[in-house]
Amino acid sequence: MSDQPKDLVVVITGASAGIGAALAELVARRGDIPVLVARNRAALEEVAGRCAGRADVHVADVTRRADVEGAVAATLQARGRIDVWVNNAGRGITRVVSEVTDQDFDEMMTVNVKSVLYGMQAVLPHFRARRTGQIINVSSMLGRLPFVPFRSIYAAAKHAVNALTANLRLELAEQFPDIAVSSVHPGIVATAFGSNALHGGPDSRQLPGAQSAEEVATVIADLMDSRQADVYTRPEARQSVAAYFAADDMAAVERQSMLRVRR
């Protein structure tokens, strides 16, 4: 792995709240340069105000390829380089598979998958030219363990993100070994994710065992140092994933998970 420069330029999508905002503040405290990307300028400016004067703000809708390409161009013009690109923007849904509409499906894939694809494709030419860089895709435990039926298409979207992440890593491995492509899998996080889900839903901040956005941000920041391929924000999560996929009867594991949720 090539040496990373100091003052990393870190582009964070979905940076106006939640995990993205917490990560921006942590990146700034570390002495790096967060570039905040989201649609809401006022919210971005508020987050930037907590970043010790180190943050740049770029208003963009990451479901539009041109906006994402514009964020890359603006950052390169302002800072000269990008070191880490964090695809964090996303949205949940509260609807079981049997009730999902075409509009639901398209919304989930656009917000959670196309935005990630656009980010990866937009920053890749710069990373290839420098022969280094890191893409971090914020996935979800539901992209590994789809045990929440009303999050159905959100879970499917995160499975797609995981596949794109792994396949890009394989694509680059031989010719560009210093371009890291990583994924991180949070569980329940104490943000407005649940209440902001399509069709509403339970407030994630009120759910038992919810992890703080700051704790998840710390895992992501550590990933910028380790450049691992795949990390979880809870130490026990990897074992749970391995047990599920190794099970002789995956349906039995699913049923046990649902029983625990109902208790």
Which residues are marked as active site? 154
Handedness of CA 90, 94, 99, 103 (dihedral sign): negative
H helices present in the chain, as ranges: 18-29, 41-48, 65-79, 102-109, 115-130, 152-173, 213-226, 237-246, 250-262
DSSP tag of 233: S
Neighbours of 128 (CB within 10 A): 14
Burial string for 142-178 (b: 16+ CB within 10 Å, else e) reads: bbbbbbbebbbbbbbbbbbbbebbeebbeebeeebeb
Q: What is the DSSP letter of 58?
A: E
